[in-house]
Structure 1
């Protein structure tokens, strides 16, 4: 009788995930935190580079300094990063305590737009000037609405099925108060974003679906009424529906046509960073609402898809936080910021590529604009604060800092490891 060798065992796989170590990391509790941090930092970095490129010609013509707009945007980014870091260090309990004061402050600032401090621009009255500084309160109203809504709806989760509890006080007076003041300044784009934030947060909170049909009909009727009541908005809609631009003086005509020219000129691979032709006083607002057109022209399809991919990464990270957390405030706050950034990005991108009428909202974290960038970075700070509450994330981050300290402690001043 001959002995048979035992069958060889296959070595255990290093990872059960089809993506290997990357898949394991994506399932780790720290992944949403780092994905939010990296994607937002990449968007801001791309935005700074493209603001420099898109604004250089106009800035030189107006001030004799090609770096004027870029320098201002860099300063706003610095302020936004500092405020974002501070907001990221706030515990969610502090966010809940700031919910009501934040909403009252947002309502007060938005009301100032209608005072002598407010100024109008291109048909909208959404800016206040104080001491030589300008501020768009509606940008910070988005953050205030998210925090207030998360705090209120988290407490009302047991009775959210009753429409009265769902509406008061989040929708009335909270959301409707902000939307009313914004619409008093004729800023339909920002009002649409606020409505989307409120509706999305109610959906995440568990409001029965039957109510959303009525709300959608009311919102559509309101937008149609406001559009038909404004010749400026109707001109933009007619330009969007038209195939050609026969009257360049019509509102939105130049933006629509030259944004399409920019994307067409960029083709697959772009004309090269800094080589845009449309920024030479052809495309209005090239560094603001239409910065994606310059990205497509200079960096081609890879550049445009990179921006879209970064927004998708940010959305995935937010989804991970929502699905991993059991805290209703964390889930609702994360959903609110995600809706804010993604809805605004969709409205901007749709306007640039011609799928929507020109609505006049900036591309979050990318477009030029101090108030929009600072408010968005504070929203990212809120996301980072909420992402740290994912089970296991805070301990993992603390452990990684300890490893870094031990590594640095092993290095003497000269840089060589101690023996």
Structure 2
């Protein structure tokens, strides 16, 4: 047998090496704790990027308003310091705890959304009444925990019906899931919060999709959601201004199209690698809401195309991890809740980023884990803790964790009698 010519041997070795590397990556993704570590890693990296960008975007306005460039960063860091232990605590809880808590969370969310509409308690910002004010500068946005309540309540409801084999009738798919979702949506819409309304509808549709709703029912509900969205846009002048500003940003560059134009300019000026952290111009009050709704534009200006692609990759990996958990767990409740949580976080990120790059109208919802704000951050971290809890119930995950030994969080819960059984 003759040896291959030298010119042919090099490409052959390159192909063999590529196949080996691909096999290694696939083997890594097939490990029992892959989802668990992906959720933790993506969460921590996005939180780190978020804290950095909040400081950069808010330093000038914080200095102007409070005399300290770090005031908003300190608040965000406080919420992160509160949210991370809650995420780890949630990850240690057994599945039955989430099913028990689903109904109280749902009821509290409805109560909170109703209180927002009470004059003197509800606070308006950006055209929407979405905040509860408790005095002393402490505010809460009940629509954020409402997303968590809808996911857990809807997943538990459909899982119970599936166990009783009641989902052969399309009415059982919608009742009482549709009225419950409708109640939350109506309360949110009475506060003029269209962005959160869309996310709630996405959670509802994700639950229907996973449970296997007939395509005609799914399409019909989707069409109804689209029609209601169009009506809500038409009847509210400021939403129509946002829509016209989206369709024609140059038509009113100093009015309806100003924020969108500035966001695109900041993204474009970042180039490949950005101007450098803290060196952007958006923070000098050129870009409205640069620390919240348009923080992705600040990130693009200071970290460039590379920074934006890193953020997109992290959300892509988070999507993969969430759907992997939903596919691998055996319990219907976990499958439904994992899909609902993944849809909530990822679609919210898509809507936020889509508004910044001007492929979607501006809705005023934050970028998960990155934007400033504790009302959004803490429920999101709790939801990710639930994903971690489910990830530990994937095939082989318990054995892998047992071989690794209990962490400090598990030991504390064991002492308190709250550990998984």
Do these two structures clear the TM 0.5 threshold for a shared fold by scoring above it?
Answer: yes
Deviations 1:7-30 (A, max 9, x none): xxxxxx9xx975344432210111
Does residue 164 in structure 1 map to residue 175 in structure 2?
Answer: no
Q: Is the 8 A contact 2:208 2:218 kept in 1?
A: no
Show the 5 A alignment for 1:340-359. 340-359=344-363
Map of 1:282-293 to 2, 5 A cutoff? Answer: 282-293=286-297
- Shift in Å, 1:161: 3.5
Q: Secondary structure at the match of 2:353?
A: helix
Which string of whole-angstrom CA distances, capped at 9 and with x for unpartnered residues, describes residues 229-259 of structure 1?
0110000111111141535133xx2210100
User: Counterparts of 1:298 and 1:209 in 2: how far apart (Å)?
Assistant: 44
- In structure 2, which of residues 112, 117, 122 is the aligned counterpart of residue 109 of structure 1? 112
Relative distance call for 1:165 and 1:353 in structure 2 (3 A) is same
Instruction: Name structure 1 gaps, 5 residues minimum.
Output: 1-12, 405-419
Aligned partners of 1:403 and 1:90: how far apart in 2? 14
Give yes or no for the alignment of 1:317 onto 2:321.
yes
Matched, 1:303 2:310: no
Distance 2:66 2:395 in 1: 52
Partners of 2:391 and 2:214 in 1: CA distance:
27
Match of 2:365 in 1: 361
Corresponding residue SS for 2:129 = strand
Q: Indicate the residue corresponding to 1:48 in structure 2.
A: 51
8 Å Cα contact 1:270/1:296 also seen in 2: yes
Q: Which 4+ residue blocks in structure 1 deviate beyond 4 angstroms?
A: none
* Mapping for residues 105-184 of structure 1, pairs under 5 Å: 105-115=108-118, 116-132=120-136, 133-157=138-162, 158-172=165-179, 174-184=180-190
TM-aligned CA deviation for residue 373 of structure 1:
0.7
Please provide the CA RMSD for this pair. Answer: 1.8
Map 1:187-226 → 2, pairs under 5 A: 187-226=193-232
1:207-232: CA deviation from partner (whole Å, max 9, x where unpaired): 11110121122111101111000110
Greater C-alpha radius of gyration: 1
Hey, what's the Cα distance between the residues in 1 that align with 2:255 and 2:33?
52
- In 2, Cα distance between equivalents of 1:242 and 1:25: 47
What whole-Å deviation, never above 9, does each CA across 1:271-307 have from its counterpart, x for those lacking one?
Answer: 1111101221100011111000011000000100000
The answer for unaligned runs of 5 or more in structure 2 is 1-15, 409-421
- Asked if 1 retains the 8 angstrom alpha-carbon contact of 2:57 and 2:298, the reply is yes
Decide which structure has greater helix share.
Answer: 2
**For residues 361 and 170 of structure 2, what CA distance do their matches in structure 1 show?**
33
1:131 deviates by: 3.8
Structure 1 residue 319: Cα displacement: 1.6
TM-score (normalizing by structure 2): 0.89
Cα offset, 1:167, TM superposition: 1.2
Secondary structure of the corresponding residue to residue 128 of structure 1? strand
Structure 2 residue matching 1:98: 3-state secondary structure: helix
Give CA-to-partner distance per residue, 1:118-143, whole Å, 9 cap, x none. 11112100000114210000000001
Give the secondary structure class of the aligned counterpart of 1:274: coil
List per-residue Cα deviations over 1:184-204 (Å, max 9, x = no partner): 101010011000100111110
Equivalent residues, number: 388
How far apart are residue 64 of structure 1 and its match?
1.3
Q: Does 1:228 align with 2:234?
A: yes
1:185 is the counterpart of 2:194: no
SS at match of 1:281: helix
TM-score by length of 1: 0.89
Aligned position for 1:240: 246
Residue 401 of structure 1: how far off its partner (Å): 2.2
